[in-house]
Amino acid sequence: MYPLEPPAVYIHESVMADERYRRRAEGVVAALEKPVEPIVFRDADLPALIAEHGLGANRKPMGMLPEVRDPVLVFHTFRFDGRAAERHEALRAAGCNPKYGAVSALLGYGAFHWANYNQKGDPHRHDKVCRPCWRIHLQNGCVHRCTYCGLGGLLVSMVNVEEYCEHLGEIIRRHPWQKTYLLDDDGDPPCLEPEHGTLGPLIEFFGTLDDRYLVIHTKTWNTSWMADLAHNGNTIIVWSLSGRSQSRLIEPKAGTTEERIEAARTAQQAGYQIRYKFKPIVPVKNWRDDAAHAVKLLFERTRPDMISLCCYMWMDIDEMLQRVDEDLLDPECVKAARECRDETEPTRTKPFPQSVREAIYDHYLTEIRKHDADIPVSLSTENFRIWKAFGPKLGFTATNYVCGCGPQSTPGARKLADHPFTVAVRDAEGIPGTY
């Protein structure tokens, strides 16, 4: 487990009522760097914890905080009772309307999320190439303190993994087109393991399945505990990898470049399929040299089955510079972002214009091809416009590329056989915990 000093620990009464669940929460508490006396809470206590005790007060970008600390830890159980809307309304009626994304987790909800990417109802369907699928969750929040990220300050972790797997099994049964399931795009579960004892059972659950895979997307250095799990080749671990400067200065509690690659080597040695996403690529002043070093090192020590690339995006340059120190960045990239506001304003791929992003991707692709001429390389979370321009260099289109966490991206896949936007059909009627 990561060395942590949370300012407080809260445990929901449902956790304390079950010996297995209580043991998981207490395992993390016992491993903290300094003793913390956990506070047991009920649903009725939540408004006061949020409004008066500041639960989640630091749930904002880490680079915008005057002081960054480890997050408050909250242990809870997922509820599968269909009362999410009712409980949200009760929280609002109590005068509490938190604006951060952990509210569902604090109420015991948010287990299984239907991501309707590029389907009807997706407001970004023409500006984001991502595949519709089920995404699954065990945590909300992270300990890595990345300056650009707003998921610090509060970490809500669920412990009733056995019950969770029962409902997940029904989702998997009803959706034969979905082969892989991405865990926690708003958390990093390996950080609390093995003391927490929830990720291991989920890995072993997938190990019992036929042609279904768990995808863990992480920045962690912490994988040695995974070696003895019965994963049976059904867990794919995708490292969000960055260069030396970014990993040390912008992602301070995540693994360094070297530590993440070593963690990937350890996992691969234990039989896990590994992948890398250079995501987000922050163009620091020496990004070219850092990219060359990271790519060289990953091929020297590991053998991934694919690599994805994604520039820093999702906000304009002014907001980015509130999160990331401008003195760390390549001044030409910042200059281009400022001068091209009109081009990038209507897109989710701002702040950097397409010319800058293509130059960055060109450099990474050149470095990758020095070491492997055939490994699939794709763009992650990019838009259709850049896929049309840059896709031929990769040998893929926006609808057939294999990505790190896509629902049909099975181990060793080279290209998708089915159209990812049309094959996906949601069938969750009557399955609790879905939204």
Cα–Cα nearest to 236, from 211, 262, 256: 211
Please tell me the distance from the alpha carbon of residue 115 to that of residue 103, in angstroms, as a whole number.
19
The pLDDT of residue 36: 96
Residue 288: the pLDDT is 98
Residues 51 and 137: beta-carbon distance below 8 Å = no
pLDDT of residue 279: 97
Tokens 């492997």 belong to residue: 372
DSSP reduced 3-state for 19: helix
> What is the pLDDT, as a whole number, of residue 253?
96
How many Å apart are CA 362 and CA 356, to the nearest integer? 10
* Predicted local confidence at residue 53, as pLDDT: 85
Given a contact cutoff of 8 angstroms between Cβ atoms, the answer to whether 351 and 315 are in contact is: yes
What's residue 52's pLDDT? 84
Residues of the chain below pLDDT 50? none
Buried-state track 129-142, b at ≥16 Cβ within 10 A, e below 16: bbbbbbbbbbbbbb
- Up-side HSE of residue 100: CA atoms within 13 Å toward CB? 25
Domains of the chain listed by start with CATH number = 111-139+160-423 (3.80.30.30)
Q: Is 431 helix (H, G, I), strand (E, B) or coil?
A: coil
Angle value at C-alpha 293, between 292 and 294, nearest 5 degrees: 95
DSSP string, 40-87: EE-GGGHHHHHHTS-TTTT-S-GGGSSS--PPEEEEE----SS-HHHH
